[in-house]
Amino acid sequence: MRFPAHTGTQGLTFLLPALVLFAIFVLYPAFYIFYAGLFEWDGINQGVFVGLGNFHQIFTDDGPFWIAMRNALYWAPLTIVIQMVLGFLIAFLLEIRTRMVPVFRALFYLPAIVSPVVIGIVWQRIYNPFGGLLSDIGIATGLRFLTFSFLANTQTAIFAVIVVNIWQWMGFSMLMYIAGMKGISREVLEAARLDGITTRQTAVHVVWPMLRHVHLTLVLLGVIGTLQTFPLIYIMTKGGPNHATEMLPNYIFQQGFILQNMGYASALSVVLLVLSLGLSVFQVKVLGARFSFGGPA
């Protein structure tokens, strides 16, 4: 079949608005941030060119940056794996065993649509060792460890915030798994039941393997979400105590808008961009992440 010679030109014309917007809102900011990262600059006055000095400092003489990287290594596997497991269990039980499914879906999904600012404030009060919910429960039940200052201790603060993040996004994982289960034939589940397979075996050996596309989607979204974590940390701890809960977006905000070290913050932003792109490419290319809501591609 032969196409007119001007078809390619017309196609480019239709693509041109999208390409222009992409160049303005994606390419230009990316190149500008890299350029700004080459300067010692406060965001207002004339910057001083330092070349790759900011990047050299990041990797050789910046303790908080490496603490943020360590926290990301805690955050990603703990939140992704636990959210996936809990989300799957809730989805499976709701679809197989529970009546009033829409009501329970809404209850479990509700934290995912509440503002992270509200969630951060509420959980900050819950963790408060002086009159907080956990503290009151600990005093009433004799479980004195619940009165501990979880957010004020450098050893427990990051894990306390991770618990909140898991609670917030567990319902989203549940919804993804429910959508994935809709694509599983009921004949498969009925055949498993007729073969005498228990509910637990059905969940582990039948349903879970058939939701590979959902697993991969949640891993990809979880990794990206880890590198974008900001409001929950900022509201609950502001990266403290002593950078114990620092994440890279929070550290960038602190350097750029609090310490007015915009050039250094730009260099940190470039590092974050490269990490995000690298991990996404690794997920898609190396792990072969083909996914869709309806089933494997």
Output the six-digit token pair for 60.
């050789």
Architecture of the domain spanning 45-286:
Orthogonal Bundle (1.10)
Q: Report domain extents, the chain.
A: 45-286
Q: How far apart are CA 232 and CA 179, in angstroms?
A: 27
CA atoms within 13 A on the CB side of 168: 23
Q: How far apart are the first and last CA of the chain?
A: 29
Q: What is the mean pLDDT of the chain?
A: 88
pLDDT of residue 81: 95
Output the six-digit token pair for 260.
């007015």
Whether the predicted model's global pTM rises above the 0.85 cut: yes
* Residues forming beta bridges with residue 39, ordered by sequence position: 49
Model pLDDT for residues 219-271, shown as the tens digit of each residue = 888 988 898 899 999 999 999 999 999 999 999 999 999 999 999 999 999 99
CA 72 to chain centre: 10
pLDDT of residue 85: 95
- Enumerate residues 6+ apart whose C-beta is below 8 A from 233: 161, 239, 245, 246, 247, 250
pLDDT of residue 296: 37
